[in-house]
Amino acid sequence: MTASATLALSTTDLRKSYGRQMALDGLSLEVPSGVVYGFLGPNGAGKTTTMRLLTGLIRPNSGSISLLGRAFTGSQHDILHDVGALIESPSFYPHLSARDNLTVIGATGRRAAKARIDELLELVGLTDRAGDRVSRYSFGMKQRLGIAVALLNDPKLLLLDEPANGLDPVGIVNLRDTLKALAAAGKTVFISSHILPEVQQLADIVGIVAAGRLVTQGPLEELLTSQALIRVKVCPEEVAGASEVLSKLTGGGSIETQDPDAVWLSARIAANRAAEVNRALVGAGIYASGLEAGSDLESLFLQLTAPPEPTMQPTRPGAIPGWNSGVES
Ligand SMILES: Nc1ncnc2c1ncn2[C@@H]1O[C@H](COP(=O)(O)OP(=O)(O)OP(=O)(O)O)[C@@H](O)[C@H]1O
Ligand SMILES: [Mg+2]
């Protein structure tokens, strides 16, 4: 995708199993510098495992990692000085305040100045409660503190495993603004998330992983456009005319469903061209009785991570339909 010199993070054929459980099955990622990269996948897909490998918390069975242009084997702590991370539930010293946690944690890396700590407490909205013991914090407040810790050393590369977990709407908006500002300032943000509309607003590039393998990776706009679909509903006698209009715009339209009264035609056209499609149809004297546009990240995600067609299995008592995709039982 990009020359390796401009990649902030890459992995090559990364494999990791926990005993007999395969977590990563040859994962190769390319994360260019200065972008927000959305790392997506169903539960159990291997996102946290990837984050733990990238910070040296665990070692891969095979494969390699490059961080900020250097090979990382898990022990180069100087590389990690330029990497900030929030992985699963962050752990703190519960009897210390948020401010003291930042001071102590900062002391283990490059020492953070008091001004920096004040700035971070303000950024994550904890200033008013900065003196309270962390053991008295709510879940979301701990998550906010975790984000502050990840930012403490002003990292060039930020690894965030579901940072929006537990945040209230204001916290989510602030996080989004912060991450966008960091990327605009040239930092790289690698973020896993389950909140797809959020990722759609935030990420420049997405990688989707399922069962430890990458299923797609690329600029978000390109992925959405490649999956985009516009559907128009016309009456049967207008099908030929409507097909011609769609063909001119895209190079092809196809009949999706047909009944005696109406026909749905679909074509691969980006959602933001819906008005243009409508105008072209009207220009040809065709008034569509229905027009639907779009592919969003959610439908792309669902399509790409769909489990294989299930074989016939007896229904287990108490099984909840739809909740077994991607999760090992
Ligand atoms: N410590 C562990 N011991 C055994 N298996 C593990 C361990 N940690 C993870 N796994 C397994 O590895 C696979 C990937 O797990 P991982 O936590 O990386 O997924 P994830 O993508 O972060 O999921 P989630 O969206 O639920 O956070 C799963 O099958 C999981 O059961
Ligand atoms: Mg996880």
User: pLDDT tens for residues 283-292?
Assistant: 999 999 999 8
Q: Whose CA is nearest to atom 13 of ligand 1?
A: 23
Picking from 132, 135, 198, 189, the residue whose alpha carbon sits closest to that of residue 171 is 198
Both tokens of 78, joined, read: 């100087």
Q: Is 46 in the pocket of ligand 1 (CB under 6 A)?
A: yes
Counting ligands in written order, the one closest to the CA of 52 is 1
Q: Domain 228-298, what fold?
A: Alpha-Beta Plaits (3.30.70)
Which residues surround the ion ligand 2 when the cut-off is CB under 5 Å? 47-48
Assign 3-class secondary structure to 148-191.
HHHHCCCCCEEEEECCCCCCCHHHHHHHHHHHHHHHHCCCEEEE
| Residue 121 alpha carbon to ligand 1 centre in Å | 31
| Residue 213 alpha carbon to ligand 1 centre in Å | 13
pTM: 0.80
Sheet arrangement for strand 62-67: 21-32, 7-18, 62-67, 70-72
* pLDDT (0 to 100) of residue 257: 67
* pLDDT (0 to 100) of residue 94: 85
| Residue 17 alpha carbon to ligand 1 centre in Å | 10
Q: How many CA atoms lie within 13 A of 32 on its CB side?
A: 13
Domain regions of the chain by residue span: 4-217, 228-298
Please tell us whether the domain made up of 4-217 is placed in CATH 3.20.20.70: no
Counting ligands in written order, the one closest to the CA of 47 is 1
Asked, colleague to colleague, whether 4-217 and 228-298 share their fold, the answer is: no
Assign 3-class secondary structure to 114-156.
HHHHHHHHHHCCCHHHCCCEHHHCCHHHHHHHHHHHHHCCCCC
How far apart CA 200 and CA 206 sit, in angstroms, is 9
Beta carbons within 10 angstroms of residue 138's beta carbon: 11
Both tokens of 149, joined, read: 């810790």
Q: Whose CA is nearest to atom 1 of ligand 1?
A: 18
| Residue 66 alpha carbon to ligand 1 centre in Å | 22
Q: Is 18 in the pocket of ligand 1 (CB under 6 A)?
A: yes
How far apart CA 135 and CA 236 sit, in angstroms, is 67
Atom of ligand 1 nearest to the CA of 328: 29
Counting ligands in written order, the one closest to the CA of 88 is 2
Q: Residue ranges of the chain with pLDDT lower than 70?
A: 1-5, 107-112, 251-257, 308-329
How far apart CA 169 and CA 164 sit, in angstroms, is 9
Q: How many CA atoms lie within 13 A of 1 on its CB side?
A: 17
Mutate which of 47, 55, 194 for ligand 1 pocket (most atoms within 8 A of beta carbon): 47
